[in-house]
Amino acid sequence: MREKDRFGREISYLRVSVTDRCNFRCFYCRPVRDFTPLPHSEILSYEEILEVVRAGVAAGVKKVRLTGGEPLLRRGIAHLVKEIAAMPEIQDLGLTTNGLLLETMAWPLREAGLTRLNVSLDSLDPAVFQRVTGKDAARQVLAGIEAALSLGFAPVKLNTVAVAGVNDADFGRLARLSMDWPVHVRFIEFMPTAGVTDWASARFLSWERVKEIVERDAGALEQVPESGLFPGPALRYRFPGAKGEVGFITAVTRHFCGECNRMRLTADGKLRPCLLSDREVDVRAGLRAGLGEEAVLAAWKRALELKPQGHALDNPERAPLKRGMSRIGG
């Protein structure tokens, strides 16, 4: 059964946040200094997450990505990967990480059946990296990426949030990683998530401007035609002869809402049909009341009804989001 929302979009992709805790403090994700993680009692157990995934599969989900916070902080994450990977309907299973723990976790994840990895990497300059993340850990993250590549994860996607005056001097070097490594370096437009107070200022860079900077500093790019079972939102390019690609995710200036196939499950058990909307449906209460898959599917259908046609970022009267990215799951 493939469920569609009221605009005819099939939802085949579920992003699952397993924790709101993180060992970084990136200003675009968790900028509030007095951030207090949710108590463990409010976080879904792995068994509850699996119930939601199974219900999602019944509604047509074919792709799952595990996120956080930082998902590698959650004990036993490889077990969850193994359980989801064993579901024959799941054709693509990925995980997004900041990479700090990846060097030691890459093998257990690979052995458990993980097929894709996304790693946040906002700069190769240690000082800029620390400015963005709050931690001097660029070397550890690069070591984790190399470990993942050595184990056969390919491509590994490297996500860079493009912020003017912060990491724009490093765009060329980041993009050139795709020359020698089978990585997809993806530049993401800076989005107005909760707690980000200076988004509308000179910090914002459109994807066209990011591409100009990359080509100025690293050389001309050629466009790559879309392909694959689950085409993503990135505009895809590459340097001639490169092993990998360079992509641009245009969430603000050229949004892809019309093709959105995603549902999000927050760590505290809310189904969230749009990243940039606070509309949510509680699924945890039904799970803990023992109502099972039927209750989850009912919540899923309600969430589909709430999925907006677009994110309305161009509306100046749009209310600011209540949850930061670490609370939602990227």
Average pLDDT, the chain: 89
Read off the pLDDT of each residue in 129-156 and give the average, rounded to a whole number. 96
Mean pLDDT of 219-234: 81
Asked if residues 51 and 284 have their Cβ atoms less than 8 Å apart, the reply is: no
Look up residue 280 and give its amino acid. E
**pLDDT per position as a tens digit, 48-83:** 999 999 999 999 999 999 999 999 999 999 999 999
List the strands of the sheet with 183-189, edge to edge.
222-223, 235-238, 245-249, 183-189, 156-162, 116-120, 92-97, 63-67, 13-17, 262-265, 270-272, 281-282
Cα separation, 141 vs 129, in Å, equals 10
What number is the average pLDDT over the span 103-113? 98
Q: Quote the pTM value.
A: 0.92
Whole-number pLDDT of residue 35:
73
CA–CA dist 213, 246 (Å, integer) = 13
Tell me if the bond preceding 240 is cis, omega within 30° of 0.
no
* pLDDT score at 229: 59
Provide the phi-psi class of 68: left if phi over 0, else alpha when psi is between -120 and 50, else beta. beta
Can you give the pLDDT at residue 2? 64
pLDDT band for 226, please (50, 70, 90 cuts): confident
Low-confidence winner among 70-79, 149-158, 317-326 (lowest mean pLDDT): 317-326
How large is the C-alpha radius of gyration of the chain?
A: 19
Query: Looking at the predicted structure, is the pLDDT value of residue 195 above 60?
Result: no
- DSSP assignment of 111-177 equals HHT--EEEEE---SSHHHHHHHHSS--HHHHHHHHHHHHHTT--SEEEEEEE-TTTTGGGHHHHHHH
What pLDDT is attached to residue 36? 82
Q: What pLDDT is attached to residue 45?
A: 97
User: What is the CATH architecture of 13-328?
Assistant: Alpha-Beta Barrel (3.20)
Q: How confident is the model at residue 161 (pLDDT cuts 50, 70, 90)?
A: very high
**Least trusted range by pLDDT, from 32-36, 230-234, 274-278:** 32-36
Measure Cα distances from 195 to 14, 226, 265, 323 in Å: 25, 34, 21, 8
Within 8 A by CB and 6+ apart from 84, the residues are: 50, 53, 64, 90, 93, 113
Length of the chain: 330
76-92 in b/e burial notation, b at 16+ Cβ within 10 A?
ebbebbbbbeebeebee
| pLDDT reading at 3 higher than 80 | no
Would you list the domain boundaries of the chain? 13-328
Residue 124 burial class via C-beta count within 10 angstroms: exposed 0-12, middle 13-18, buried 19 and up? middle
> Rounded distance, CA 142 to CA 126, Å?
11
| β 116-120/156-162 pair status | parallel
- Whether residue 315 has pLDDT greater than 90: no
